[in-house]
Amino acid sequence: MPPPRALTTYTTSLQAFHKKLLASQRILAVCGAGLSAASGLPTFRGSAGALWRTHKATDLATPEAFRADPGLVWSFYAQRRRAALRAEPNRGHLALAALGRWAVASAAEGREGRREFLCLSQNVDDLHSRASHPPSTLRLLHGSLFSLKCASQTCTWTEQNNTLDPLCAALVDPTSQTTQHIPPSALPTCPQCKTSLQRPGVVWFGEQLDASMLAEIDDWIARDEVDIVLVIGTSSAVYPAAGFAEQARGRGRKTSVVTVNLDAGVRGMKEGDFAFAGDAAVLLPLLLGPVIGEV
């Protein structure tokens, strides 16, 4: 199969990348919403996803918005849940899942110099998991649309893998453009404390990522040299995800940062880096092919 035309745009070489890949033992990936665009899910900040009804999507993804109008916020997330349930993992998800299985198989061999891979995803759509990505090589930085938690900070109740659609009768038609108010009494309450509302188990703007997960990631990066960092479908504008590539590069490390994005460019590249512009669903199987085979 001939390489996509985008691969000829830059001076970086597919052949050179494959040589680096085959010699690599530790690979880190940082994924953003662009990875799921080929599955039909709009990027959160892009023109297709920036507005919901008449509201900025980023304005609804906050604790303050939930306190002010939980029915409105839940309508927004109910629509996102429905869209994610109808989407299918694309070949980019499948390629990363295959890379995860490659690392798991290497670890099972127990030999010295085993191959390692860790995928850090900012996506909450669960398409990584539905692509059978091994959980041991996947960290969902921003949680999942299909996780629920109590809105009270003093209550510990959570629920995983809730794919009910609708979540409750009041959310039966989240795609409607009507602005009918949904009262809190019509939304599901926490079964543990029985007073606070359930909320999406995602990390909202103004909230902190899970500290134990971040510590685990820091330990993984620091444990040994990272050969390749794949930055996939993201502008790397959101921290701390944006800092992982430079953290992995470290002082004196021969780390290659490999950008795979529709608008990937050579600006900011350092010696040994690569940039491949195009659809991650097309490029990732091609880039990772020497290790994972066909997907």
Tell me the C-alpha distance between 32 and 41, whole Å: 12
Residue 155 assigned as binding residue: yes
Residue 150 assigned as binding residue: yes
Higher pLDDT, 1 or 158: 158
Say what the pTM is.
0.91
> What burial letters (b/e) apply to 47-81, b meaning 16+ CB within 10 Å?
eebeebeebebeebbeeebbeeebbbbbbbbbbbb
Residue 49 pLDDT exceeds 60:
no
Query: Percentage helix, strand, coil, to 5, in the chain?
Result: 40, 15, 45
Known catalytic residues are 142
pLDDT at position 12 is 67
pLDDT at position 222 is 93
Instruction: pLDDT band for 2, please (50, 70, 90 cuts).
Output: very low
Residue 119 assigned as binding residue: no
Residue 153 pLDDT exceeds 70:
yes
Residue 168 assigned as binding residue: no
Give tens-digit pLDDT for 201-259: 999 999 999 999 999 999 999 999 999 999 999 865 567 767 898 899 876 678 999 99
Instruction: pLDDT band for 7, please (50, 70, 90 cuts).
Output: very low
pLDDT at position 178 is 62
Arithmetic mean of pLDDT, 148-161: 97
Residue 48 pLDDT exceeds 70:
no
Mean pLDDT taken over the chain:
89
Burial of residue 133 (CB within 10 Å: 0-12, 13-18, 19+) is buried
* CA neighbor of 60 nearest in space, from 46, 43, 76: 76
Higher pLDDT, 51 or 94: 94
